[in-house]
Amino acid sequence: MEKISVTIIALNEEKNIGECLESVKWADEILVSDSGSTDKTVEICGRYGAKVFNDAWRGFGAQKNLLGDRAVNGWILNVDADERVTPALKEELLKAVEGGGKAGYYVPRKNFFGRKWIRHCGWYPDYNLRLYRKERGRFTERAVHESVKVDGATGRLKTPLEHFTYRDVSDYLTRMERYSTLAADEMSGRGRRAGALDLLFRPAFTFFKMFVLKRGFLHGADGVMLSMLYASYTLAKYAKLREKRGP
């Protein structure tokens, strides 16, 4: 039977990494790329027998490819520190590998804000390609929103990966600052510019898409909050782009 290597990138994830590793301890190999954690992340990884590498930060896609290249098994399952593989998903992953007919598999995600599962706002089923053959797949080396590209046919699993994406509003705002800067840098590198229409209409459309088209209104006040937070992120990245490159 073919074996699975799990890859995880981490930085100061002591609040998350233990539950993540507990959920994948069945894997044949666990590799963690740590980028200078100052908390107990590395210590916790050691308790689970993970192979921990101290790597300078290269960007999300490049960091995940670095770990993938180190994997000794033919299949790679990439998870984030704030994600959990349920027992039911484990069984489906193992069956997919045993079948072996695809180059990669998309996995749905149950995304949580705090401990609340967000079913709407475009947050579910949120398919991501996470299980792939090592020799057939690589992450796009983007600064943010990286994804796996595979050479060959893909399939879709049914059981979701649990994703505890933001602890609270403060956590979201902290990460929004970082991700909006990365997104602006990436757009700037492609020669993009931001004008008045981008600043006016793109945040408004983000809210409309999440709250109306993706039925965020079914979450009531939480739907309003999330849609507004994501509209703020859209405004921030285009405002930073304009600051970098002008109109």
Report mean pLDDT in 10-residue bins for the chain, 247 residues: 94 97 98 97 97 95 96 98 98 93 96 96 97 96 88 97 96 96 93 95 98 98 98 98 85
Q: Which domain holds residue 211?
A: 168-245
The CATH number that applies at residue 61 is 3.90.550.10
Q: What local confidence, expressed as pLDDT, does residue 101 receive?
A: 85
Q: How far is CA 228 from CA 119, 184, 193, in A?
A: 17, 19, 23
Domain's final residue, options 137, 165, 193: 165
Same domain, yes or no, for 116 and 46?
yes
Same domain, yes or no, for 15 and 50?
yes
Domain's final residue, options 145, 165, 185: 165
SS3 180: helix
DSSP letter, residue 148: E
DSSP letter, residue 121: T
Same domain, yes or no, for 100 and 123?
yes
Q: What local confidence, expressed as pLDDT, does residue 143 receive?
A: 75
Burial group, residue 4, by CB count within 10 angstroms (0-12, 13-18, 19+): buried
User: ω before 203 within 30° of 0 (cis)?
Assistant: no
Q: Give one DSSP letter per residue of 36-76, joined into a string.
A: ---SSHHHHHHHTT-EEEE-----HHHHHHHHHHH--SSEE
Q: What local confidence, expressed as pLDDT, does residue 142 receive?
A: 81
Same domain, yes or no, for 199 and 230?
yes
Q: What local confidence, expressed as pLDDT, does residue 99 receive?
A: 86
Burial group, residue 13, by CB count within 10 angstroms (0-12, 13-18, 19+): buried
Same domain, yes or no, for 180 and 144?
no
Size of the chain, expressed as the number of residues it contains: 247
Same domain, yes or no, for 41 and 84?
yes
Domain's final residue, options 146, 165, 184: 165
**131, 148 Cβ separation under 8 angstroms:** no
**107, 127 Cβ separation under 8 angstroms:** yes
